[in-house]
């Protein structure tokens, strides 16, 4: 069969797709990855065939207006407030979805459609629909915010579903929104997401159906400890680390003579926001007197700012986490999906320093499971980080907890084991249609 993966141009959203794409190719299926032109070299670097559609989105430029360091200099108070927020609907959906009322969710959808979904989808949706009509995939697997993939699948009659790279917060809130929508008077049933999707697919002769918002199925890579689920069809799959093209440095091939600790705060902030909200210098200074080998992956902006490097610290712009983490006794990170899951894949207890999106609930669940510790980024002083890293290294229970979560993760089906299930999904759901 022909399988089309779709994601807007963001490495952190593409990387979780790669192991499944490889598995499908190894099983003899044709695979293409469609995104904006910016992502094409990243896709081909993974050994996959890229399809460039439309033009590059401007999400990072837009977001950087409020998260970047220039904004921090102009309006420090506003910058601090924005960086510390938990974007709707994460503030309630984690523990109290019943408290998500109509006004709350309607505001959320109106904001997300205007400031996120349109920005990353509108530049590619029409050309992607044309490509799908020509190539005629049997299956489309799309990143949860890349609704262009669902539209293209619907227009060409392919089966389609989401591949999660985080908690299914949007599936949960969509369930709640539909519940509230049905209770509204007929003239007050505004649905910004459905209205936008209907307008986009309508240009090609299609019409809105609910599967455009959540797919016909959802592939979930999280262990039970970290999952958040809606009333949807889920296919479980084991997370496998993929960090892009990588070369293992020679110094990683030796066993450390003291505990090795990884420090990584993710690539997005470093690449797009001019650096991290957390002071990297303060962090490495706070850990300088511990008897550890600290390996800090630090973005080019910090390096250019003449970061002072303590004697126990190695600073590198990047290092493949799947090569670094197996030799680590602990890790300090931001609790982003890929970093967190890679850490747990190797049973390494983390100190999670989350900021926004699903990072806080990820960090909280790991801490509640006894598999690590959590410290909100807003309160992450050097002294507190040092104190908590020392605890991770001195208390064996954290390593044991991380191993338990690792066992949960490894018990899930490998990507190759999911391929027969996807073949069945295609047989069940795919109907060829042509609106062109």
Evaluate if residue 34 carries a pLDDT over 60. Answer: yes
Both 401 and 417 in one domain: the answer is no
Nearest to 162 by CA among 143, 146, 138, 148: 143
282 Cβ neighbours under 8 A, 6+ residues apart: 381, 382
Both 211 and 102 in one domain: the answer is yes
Q: Residue written as tokens 């990588």?
A: 246
Evaluate if residue 356 carries a pLDDT over 90. Answer: no
- DSSP class of residue 28 equals T
- Higher-pLDDT residue of 298 and 49 is 49
CA 275/CA 64 separation, integer angstroms:
11
pLDDT exceeding 70 applies to what percent of the chain? 85
For 334-346, what is the mean pLDDT? 95
CATH number of 140's domain: 3.40.50.2000
The arrangement of strands across the sheet holding 260-264 comes to 313-316, 293-297, 260-264, 330-333, 350-352, 373-374
Evaluate if residue 180 carries a pLDDT over 80. Answer: yes
Both 296 and 199 in one domain: the answer is no
- DSSP class of residue 117 equals I
Could you tell me which residues are beta bridge partners of residue 295?
Answer: 262, 314
**Residue 67: inside a domain, yes or no?**
no
Contacts for 106-111 with beta carbons within 8 Å, 24 or more apart?
A: 106/177, 106/190, 106/192, 108/173, 109/177, 109/191, 109/192, 109/193, 110/192
Domain count for the chain: 2
**Residue 392: inside a domain, yes or no?**
yes
| Number of separate helices (H) and strands (E) present in the chain | 23, 13
- Higher-pLDDT residue of 134 and 63 is 134
Both 417 and 401 in one domain: the answer is no
Confidence of residue 357 (pLDDT cuts 50, 70, 90): confident
**Residue 65: inside a domain, yes or no?**
no
The domain of 101 spans: 2-57+88-239+413-429
**Residue 63: inside a domain, yes or no?**
no
**Residue 177: inside a domain, yes or no?**
yes
Both 258 and 288 in one domain: the answer is yes
For 18-22, what is the mean pLDDT? 98
Both 320 and 422 in one domain: the answer is no
* Residue 255 exposed, middle or buried by CB count within 10 Å (0-12, 13-18, 19+): exposed
What angle (nearest 5°) sits at the alpha carbon of residue 165, between those of residues 301 and 98? 115
Both 191 and 325 in one domain: the answer is no
For 414-421, what is the mean pLDDT? 98
Evaluate if residue 101 carries a pLDDT over 90. Answer: no
Both 12 and 160 in one domain: the answer is yes
Evaluate if residue 374 carries a pLDDT over 90. Answer: yes
At residue 74, the pLDDT reads: 45
Evaluate if residue 75 carries a pLDDT over 70. Answer: no
**Under 8 Å between Cβ of 312 and 333:** no
Both 266 and 352 in one domain: the answer is yes
**Residue 385: inside a domain, yes or no?**
yes
At residue 386, the pLDDT reads: 95
User: What does the mean pLDDT of the chain come to?
Assistant: 88
At residue 85, the pLDDT reads: 45
Evaluate if residue 259 carries a pLDDT over 70. Answer: yes
Both 402 and 274 in one domain: the answer is yes
Evaluate if residue 69 carries a pLDDT over 90. Answer: no
For 76-100, what is the mean pLDDT? 57
Alpha helices in 273-358 (DSSP H): 280-286, 300-304, 321-324, 337-345
**Residue 324: inside a domain, yes or no?**
yes
185 Cβ neighbours under 8 A, 6+ residues apart: none
- Higher-pLDDT residue of 299 and 341 is 341
Within 10 A of 303 (CB to CB), how many other CB atoms are there? 15
Confidence of residue 96 (pLDDT cuts 50, 70, 90): low
Both 405 and 419 in one domain: the answer is no
Confidence of residue 201 (pLDDT cuts 50, 70, 90): very high
**Residue 68: inside a domain, yes or no?**
no
Evaluate if residue 269 carries a pLDDT over 60. Answer: no
Both 346 and 291 in one domain: the answer is yes
């Amino acid at each position: 069969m022909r399988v089309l993966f779709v994601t807007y141009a963001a490495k952190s959203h593409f990387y979780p797709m790669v192991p499944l794409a490889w598995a499908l190719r190894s099983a003899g299926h044709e695979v293409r990855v469609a995104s904006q032109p910016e992502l094409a070299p990243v896709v081909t670097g993974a050994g996959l065939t890229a399809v460039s559609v439309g033009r590059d989105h401007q999400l990072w430029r837009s977001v950087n207006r409020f998260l970047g360091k220039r904004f921090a200099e102009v309006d420090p108070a506003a910058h601090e407030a924005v960086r510390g927020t938990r974007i709707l609907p994460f503030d309630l959906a984690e523990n109290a979805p019943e408290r998500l009322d109509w006004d709350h969710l309607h505001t959320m959808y109106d904001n997300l459609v205007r400031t996120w979904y349109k920005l990353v989808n509108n530049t590619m949706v029409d050309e992607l629909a044309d490509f799908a009509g020509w190539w005629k995939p049997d299956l489309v697997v799309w990143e949860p915010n890349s609704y262009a993939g669902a539209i293209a699948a619907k227009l060409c009659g392919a089966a389609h579903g989401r591949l999660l790279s985080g908690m299914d917060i949007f599936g949960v809130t969509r369930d709640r929104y539909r519940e509230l929508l049905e209770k509204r008077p007929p003239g007050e049933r505004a649905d910004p997401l459905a209205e936008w999707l209907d307008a986009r697919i309508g240009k090609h002769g299609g019409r809105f159906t609910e599967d455009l918002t959540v797919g016909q199925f959802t592939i979930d890579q999280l262990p039970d400890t970290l999952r958040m689920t809606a009333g949807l069809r889920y296919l479980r799959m084991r997370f496998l680390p993929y960090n892009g093209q990588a070369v293992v440095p020679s110094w990683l091939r030796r066993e450390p003579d003291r505990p090795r600790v990884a420090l990584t705060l993710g690539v997005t902030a470093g690449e797009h926001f001019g650096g991290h909200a957390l002071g990297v210098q303060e962090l490495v200074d706070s850990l300088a007197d511990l008897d550890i080998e600290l390996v800090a992956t630090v973005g080019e902006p910090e390096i250019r700012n003449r970061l002072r490097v303590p004697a126990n610290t190695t600073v590198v712009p990047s290092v493949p986490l799947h090569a670094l983490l197996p030799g680590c006794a602990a890790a300090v990170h931001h609790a982003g999906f890929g970093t967190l899951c890679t850490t747990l894949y190797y049973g390494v207890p983390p100190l999670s320093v989350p900021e926004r999106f699903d990072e806080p609930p990820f960090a909280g669940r790991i801490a509640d499971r006894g598999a690590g510790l959590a410290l909100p980024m807003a309160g992450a002083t050097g002294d507190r980080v040092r104190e908590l890293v020392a605890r991770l290294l001195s208390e064996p229970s954290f390593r044991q907890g991380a191993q338990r979560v690792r066992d949960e993760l490894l018990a899930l089906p490998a990507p190759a084991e999911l391929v027969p299930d996807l073949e069945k999904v295609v047989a069940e759901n795919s109907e060829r249609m042509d609106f062109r």
